[in-house]
Amino acid sequence: MDRKTRMKRIMKWTAGTGLVLAVLAFFTRDYLGLLLISFLMAPDHVFERRLAPVAPDYVKIENWAALPGRNDSADVERPPEIVDSQRGSDVDVFFVHPTTYVSGETWNQPLDHEGANKLTDEWVMRDQASVFNACCGIYAPRYRQATLFSFQDESGSGESALNLAYEDVRSAFRFFIQNYNQGKPFILASHSQGSMHADRLLREEIVSSNLFSRMVAAYVIGFSIDGSNNVPICERSDQVNCQVSWNASTSDAPIKLAQSGDICVNPITWKTDSGLALAADNLGSVTFSSEGGIDREIADAVCRNGSLFVSEVDSERYTNNMPFGPGNYHMHDYSFYYMDIRKNVGERIANFKAINPL
């Protein structure tokens, strides 16, 4: 059984075990909890490319969720320790967002879908992409993402929908390189479905081209990444031209998205060993959705068998939204280690510039 088939089976089981939570989420209108409902939303038609939504034109700024020269949710600066320094930055980030399309109307998101775009902006750009706004200009394309049901579909339509989504990501990346990046160093970052596409982007567009030498690092987080894209794994905090990944959960979580053999880089120590990093060593967790500041000692971290295990978190700010079930911290892969990521990106960029003077 291949890796993608195993991932689909995991998500299909998640759908059944999460039904009760999904219903509760619906009645509380919990945006993140509503992700569970998507598992029960199968499009009533087979995928046909001729019926796909209109492809994005990346010349148009409305087809980007974040751009450095525009006011958007990736610019968030709260609390005081977080300062947006995107304008004039000499390093860029190309960020591929996770699944935010939960409708069964179509296999792929229409670019003007209000609900998906709102979730992309109000959750992903704020709680994930903004982690890079101290170092880099953030470029985050909207794309015809595959509806979440695609991961559990076995008819072939889901696979086709994911391939179409990847075509948009590739198109956006090429436009970014040719029109925005201007030869500068860049970081590739992503989460969940976005990391599935970023993994393929690394393999097909970056690692075997001259772009690889300009890639400071890749943060391909929240998906099963096994290293088959041939990018070296980051094994120290300042290493460059390498990739990091993790999938956070408790050790006893019924649903774990990581698989044996996956890359796991500890986001507190930035090592691949099995040493435990204490919550006291975590520089700070951040979730903007609850209007809060930096939370201290929320999450520890230890890599074991491809997973990033976290002790049970005792904070409603981080446990109210758990659509993949108890103990699965998929929604907080970035939030738990927000300040650690923020510092680490700076370290990698500093080393990259030392090796490759601009």
Q: Is the pLDDT of residue 8 over 50?
A: no
Q: Which residue has the higher pLDDT, 28 or 272?
A: 272
Q: Is the pLDDT of residue 12 over 60?
A: no
Q: Per residue in 222-238, pLDDT tens? A: 999 999 999 999 999 99
Q: Per residue in 204-225, pLDDT tens? A: 999 999 999 999 999 999 999 9
| Average pLDDT, integer, range 246-265 | 94
- Considering the chain, what percentage of its residues have pLDDT values greater than 70? 88
Closest CA to 152 of 356, 335, 15: 15
Q: What pLDDT is stored for residue 26 in this prediction? A: 36
- Considering the chain, what percentage of its residues have pLDDT values greater than 90? 75
Q: CA separation (Å) from 32 to 5, 200, 269, 293?
A: 25, 26, 29, 20
- Is residue 323 in a domain? no
- Is residue 15 in a domain? yes
Q: Per residue in 22-79, pLDDT tens? A: 433 433 334 344 445 555 688 989 999 999 999 999 999 999 999 998 999 999 887 7
Q: What pLDDT is stored for residue 14 in this prediction? A: 44
**Residue 13 amino acid letter:** W
Positive/negative CA dihedral, 32, 34, 38, 39:
positive
CATH number at residue 158: 3.40.50
- Is residue 17 in a domain? yes
- Is residue 260 in a domain? no
**Residue 145 amino acid letter:** Q
Q: Is the pLDDT of residue 3 over 80?
A: no
- Is residue 294 in a domain? no
Domain count, the chain: 1
What are the residue ranges of helices labelled H in 66-211?
Answer: 114-119, 126-127, 157-175, 193-201
Q: Per residue in 306-346, pLDDT tens? A: 999 999 998 888 887 788 888 999 999 999 999 999 999 99
Q: Per residue in 103-118, pLDDT tens? A: 889 999 999 999 999 9
Positive/negative CA dihedral, 23, 191, 64, 152:
negative
Q: Per residue in 336-354, pLDDT tens? A: 999 999 999 999 999 999 9
Q: How far apart are CA 270 and CA 320, in angstroms?
A: 28
Q: How far apart are CA 287 and CA 315, in angstroms?
A: 12
- Is residue 283 in a domain? no
Q: CA separation (Å) from 358 to 211, 242, 354?
A: 15, 19, 9
Q: How far apart are CA 125 and CA 127, in angstroms?
A: 6
Structure tokens at 208: 């075997």
- The alpha carbon of 332 is separated from its chain's Cα centroid by a whole number of angstroms, namely 10
- Is residue 293 in a domain? no
- Is residue 307 in a domain? no
Helix 3-17 to helix 19-28 angle (10° resolution) is 60
- Dihedral, 198, 269, 242, 329 alpha carbons, nearest 10: -10
Residue 122: domain span: 3-247+336-355
Cα–Cα–Cα angle for 277, 278, 280, nearest 5°? 135
